[in-house]
Amino acid sequence: MTSVGTEDASADHDWEHEDKIIEPPKFAFSALSAASAEFVPKQYLKVAAEAKTEVPKADTEHIATKLEENLNLKDDEEQAEATEEEAEKAAPPAASTPEPATTVEEPHAPDAVPEEEHHEEPKEEDAGDSRQHLNVVFIGHVDAGKSTIGGQILYLSDMVDERTIQKYEREAKDKNRDSWYMAYIMDTNEEERAKGKTVEVGRAHFETEKTRFTILDAPGHKNYVPNMISGASQADVGVLVISARKGEFETGFERGGQTREHAQLAKTLGVSKLLVVVNKMDDPSVEWSKERFDEIEKKIVPFLKSCGYNTKKDVQFLPISGLFGSNMKERMTKSTCPWWDGPCLFEALDAVELPLRDPKGSFRMPLIDKFRDMGTVVMGKIESGSVRRGDTLMVMPNKAQVKVVTVYRDNDEVNYAKPGENLRIRISGVEEEDIIPGFVLSSVNRPIPAVLEFDAQLQILELLDHKAIFTAGYKAILHIHSVVEECEIMGLIHQIDPKTKKPIRKKVLFVKSGAVVVVRIQVSQLICVEKFEDFPQLGRFTLRDEGKTVAIGKVVKFPKLEGSSQN
Ligand code: GTP
Ligand code: MG
């Protein structure tokens, strides 16, 4: 087990060195040691681990209904989709809020500047593979079967051989966890296998004729929600896994269950498409019952609508058995499930439409990990722009100019990679220890802003019982793309009126659960963020306190950026 409590990690940080930015993070990254040992690309690298602390019951149900509207994260069509009935159910009541006038800045057209680092126009064939690429995160309540499904996918797509499976079967049996062998493909560390719980986000690749997939297997346990956030923030599409087993669906879906929390967080983090996989359909308490499947769908749909999902356009339900691989690579036989006419999981994943991405945008790749292997290798997902071998880029916020030596996509070396790709890039010009996860590899001529302060519009969720007042001085953990950093609220700028959705001109000293408020946030060392309106994926965030999500927000303004030494 390599993860430590990142909720505390920034508090442990050596602030004295913040200006030099040479301190490696206190939180550990298992992929580091795994990957640096040999550079044969690992299939199952793990993402940043954190948050081990026992936490109070995570409950973000109240994010429901109004959450996306309040932050204007939802598109119009989706908003139209949410019915009045759902709106009434939402708690606490809050308002849709337009961009407050005082925080609006001139848009700075992030993609307007030509990318002079690219010497020639990248050619499609340089990418080495013309198939589309999709990042899929598996989310859902603990024990729903996420890792089992991930493992089964790898097995069915010939990424794991029979002998390995047999070995895992024996190993699982020895631990009295017979049925867990499929999950062992994704759960690679000892603690995960012993306890049968994913801790860190598992990472693997598989492909179909049409698509190359990166799968991110998030942990379901509530203690590891920050890891789930890290996985979901890199995903294009979510697979929400629900156990159909009697009692398990109910537990996952009740208040405080991670079915709810994960679905809500995923939407907040920009995962706008969901496949809802009703798993364990083989279980004796289910036996492929249509009634059970329908019951689950009927209960989940209104809830997903209330989270801001357009359930007609962006959500699809399907029954499967992850353990037996039914309705996964191939459609089920009628003898297994006579009533299902829909697609199997691979078909549904293949049919997901890719989000539009601009390969010519300013380059942005938040770094989730780094290690040393014949130089410095960094890992992350390209959020904007593209990269090719030989490019000159800048590691922000430490402004280190680097040269792209090698680009690895899955297990292959490529000349060119497009936005959305999950990559490992070997760079020269910077030492591995001078990079920490959360840094961003970025264009030289338009580097990502690095700030100590920013203004943000927050939707306060349910505050902790013993910290029920949100005011200047409130400290929390900020999660924004791959940054996890302690932050402090420096001041409340203005509140938003829930009825008129306009800024209230009265001075505001504190707010409570449910409020929408514009605040100034400060961190102790430079972090790289963008305004939500420019790069949504790099400008949306969550604030967590003692293991609970207390607010979600979007970056609206950089008060000190222009002409300051911060950038
Ligand atoms: P966390 O990582 O802890 O959140 O759990 P998970 O969602 O990854 O669940 P995991 O894959 O570890 O599976 C939990 C248990 O459910 C194991 O005992 C699996 O064998 C069992 N399981 C998973 N899928 C199925 C299925 O399709 N049918 C049956 N009968 N059992 C399943
Ligand atoms: Mg798991």
The predicted-structure confidence for 348-358, as pLDDT tens digits, reads as follows 999 998 777 78
- In this prediction, residue 26 carries a pLDDT of 24
The confidence score (pLDDT) of residue 269 equals 85
What is the reported pLDDT for 500?
80
Q: Among all ligands shown, which has an atom nearest to the Cα of 321? A: 1
Q: Can you give 24-75 as a three-state secondary structure string?
A: CCCCCCHHHHHHHHCCCCCCCCECCCCCCCCCCCCCCHHHCCCHHHHCCCCC
Cα 148 to ligand 1 centre (Å): 5
Phi and psi (nearest 5°) for 216?
-120, 115
532, with CB counted inside 10 A (0-12, 13-18, 19+), is buried
- Ligand 1: distance of its center to the CA of 86 in Å? 31
pTM across the whole model:
0.75
The percentage of the chain sitting over the pLDDT mark of 70, rounded to a whole number, equals 76
**Residues with beta carbon inside 6 Å of ligand 1?**
142-148, 179-180, 183, 196-198, 219-221, 241, 279-280, 282-283, 321-323
**Which ligand places an atom closest to the C-alpha of 148?**
1
Say what the pLDDT of residue 555 is.
Answer: 96
Average pLDDT over residues 266-272: 87
Round to whole Å and give the CA distance between 335 and 328. 16
| Atom from ligand 1 closest to the CA of residue 177 | 18
Nearest ligand 1 atom to the CA of 195 is 3
Q: Looking at ligand 1, which residue's alpha carbon is closest to its atom 22?
A: 145
C-alpha R_g of the chain: 23
How far does the chain reach from its first CA to its final CA, in angstroms? Answer: 37
- Looking at every residue in the chain, the average pLDDT score rounds to 79
Residue pLDDT, tens place only, 412-436: 899 999 999 999 999 999 999 999 9
pLDDT at 499: 72
Ligand 2 centroid, distance to 235 Cα (angstroms): 17
CB hemisphere CA count around 130 (13 angstroms): 3
> How far is ligand 1, taken at its centre, from the CA of residue 168, in Å?
15
Average pLDDT for residues 76-90, to the nearest whole number? 38
> Is the model's pLDDT at 290 over the cut of 50?
yes
Give tens-digit pLDDT for 205-258: 999 989 999 999 999 998 898 889 888 988 999 999 999 999 999 999 988 789
| CA 151 to ligand 1 centroid distance, Å | 10
Our CA angle for 491, 497, 498, nearest 5°, is: 120
Is the predicted pLDDT of residue 359 greater than 90, yes or no? Answer: no
- Hey, which of 121-135, 312-326, 347-361, 402-416 has the most confident mean pLDDT? 312-326
Of all atoms in ligand 1, which is nearest to the CA of residue 140?
7
Cα-to-centroid distance, 200 and ligand 2 (Å): 9
* Confidence (pLDDT) at 539: 94
Length of the chain (residues)? 567
Smallest CA separation from ligand 1 atom 26, residue:
280
- 498/510: higher pLDDT: 510
The predicted pLDDT at position 127 comes to 56
pLDDT of residue 32: 26
Cα(433) to centroid of ligand 2, in Å?
A: 31
Confidence tier at 492 by pLDDT (50, 70, 90): very high
Q: Give the residue, by CA position, lying nearest to ligand 1 atom 14.
A: 143
Which of the listed residues 3, 323, 326 should we mutate to test ligand 1's pocket, taking the one with most ligand atoms within 8 A of CB?
Answer: 323
Model confidence at 123, in pLDDT bands (50, 70, 90)? low
Please tell me the predicted confidence (pLDDT) of residue 109. 38
CA–CA distances in Å: residue 196 to residues 180, 185, 243, 385: 7, 12, 16, 39
Which ligand 1 atom sits nearest the alpha carbon of residue 258?
Answer: 4
pLDDT given for residue 561 in this prediction: 59
CA distance 62 to 517: 17
pLDDT given for residue 82 in this prediction: 39
pLDDT for residue 84 is more than 60: no
Of residues 8 and 561, more confidently modeled: 561
Q: Give 65: exposed, middle or buried? Use CB within 10 Å, 0-12, 13-18, 19+.
A: buried
What pLDDT digit, counting tens, does each position of 405-416 carry? 999 987 789 999
Q: Which ligand 1 atom minimizes the distance to the CA of 198?
A: 2
- Over residues 115-132, mean pLDDT: 57
Query: What is the SS3 assignment for 437?
Result: strand
pLDDT reading at 379 higher than 70: yes
Q: Return the ligand number nearest the Cα of 279.
A: 1
Ligand nearest to the CA of residue 240, numbered in listed order: 1
Quick one: pLDDT at residue 126?
Answer: 56
Residue located nearest, by CA, to atom 10 of ligand 1: 145
